[in-house]
Amino acid sequence: MKPRRSILSVPGHVEKMHHKASRYQADVIMLDLEDSVPLDEKEHAREVVIRSLLAMNWQGKTVTARINGLDTRFGYRDLLEVAEEAGRMLDTIVIPKVDHCGDIHFVDRMLDGIEMRKGFSNRIGIEAIIESAEGMENVSEIAGASDRLKALVFGVADYSASIGARLVSISGHGEKEEELYPGHRWNFALSRMVMAAKAHNLMAIDAPYGNFRDPDGLHRFSVMACSLGCDGKWAIHPDQIDIINTVFSPSLKDIERARRVLDAFEKAKAEGRGAASVEGRMIDQATVRLARQLWERASYLKMV
């Protein structure tokens, strides 16, 4: 699967931002119809998104669209119109506030019909945002609900609201969290979602960091998400892309260590030895698996 280190969320109704977005180094551009679009712009935003999807040169980027929740009056029309008119340009439809697997079944079936009618050669994927207590409770069933699913996304702001967690910043996206809680307040929820995603071979994506003028905070939260198994993180401002790409790419040191592990393992195998060691530590199968994964990611990113 193509990398999804950085996902730049762009408001659907602001056409000039779509043009700019295609030139940034984000792995994914997500055209948003949900929370970054004011209520009175919802219908207009849908038209703008369809126009941009069809008319713009996306420079080979992965492009997705976030629809409104299926519990709103806009969600089903977003799905129908965006997928019918511009589905051949879309990697995935991103569904917010997925509470149970029925939401995914509904979208999956709709896409079946749309693809049959339109004769698209691509198969439109689905990303599910897990951002409620109910969604988190049902996350395993959601992750296994369709083979269209590519990723689960943790929507921390709506999740905080859903569970009634105390708010510490305006956006609810990660700032000043340490004033409330020592360590990583979302460790359990994020890990729970990562576990369900990985059990179903999906990517796990973290929510954006709210304060785009705080690169250190963004870096800290990106490292935490990466260390919990996330594959990428949303960005809400272009200045966040480089930091996210760097954190979610293997470092040169990691690549070198992986190479030494794999070399030592191959050498031991060729010599008929059961055990190998690097830097004075025994290498077991789990270490080899981790090294292979890292190597594959590095080769996909053309780093090796």
Rounded to whole angstroms, the Cα distance separating 162 from 289 reads: 37
Pairing of strands 276-278, 281-283: antiparallel
> Site for ligand GLV (CB under 6 A): which residue of 157, 202, 204, 288?
157
Does residue number 155 form part of the binding site for ligand GLV (CB under 6 A)?
Answer: yes
Mask 199-238, x = binds ligand GLV (CB under 6 A)? --------x-------------------------------
Tokens 């056409």 found at: 15
Select from 193, 169, 205, 145 the least CA-distant residue to 1: 205
Query: Would you say 27 and 232 are in contact if contact means Cβ atoms under 8 Å apart?
Result: yes
Q: How far is the CB of 243 from ligand GLV (least distance, A)?
A: 18
Given Mg ion, ligand GLV, none, residue 207, with its beta carbon under 5 to 8 Å by kind, binds ligand GLV
Per-residue tokens: 149: 């699913």
> Site for ligand GLV (CB under 6 A): which residue of 158, 175, 206, 231?
158
| Residue number with CB closer to ligand GLV (49 or 291) | 49
Q: How far is the CB of 158 from ligand GLV (least distance, A)?
A: 4
Amino acid at 277: S
| Residue number with CB closer to Mg ion (125 or 155) | 155
Kind and range of the H or E run holding 28:
strand 28-32
Does residue number 152 form part of the binding site for ligand GLV (CB under 6 A)?
Answer: no
Rounded to whole angstroms, the Cα distance separating 304 from 252 reads: 9
Does residue number 131 form part of the binding site for ligand GLV (CB under 6 A)?
Answer: yes
Rounded to whole angstroms, the Cα distance separating 8 from 268 reads: 44
Positions in the binding site for ligand GLV (CB under 6 A): 96, 129, 131, 155-158, 207
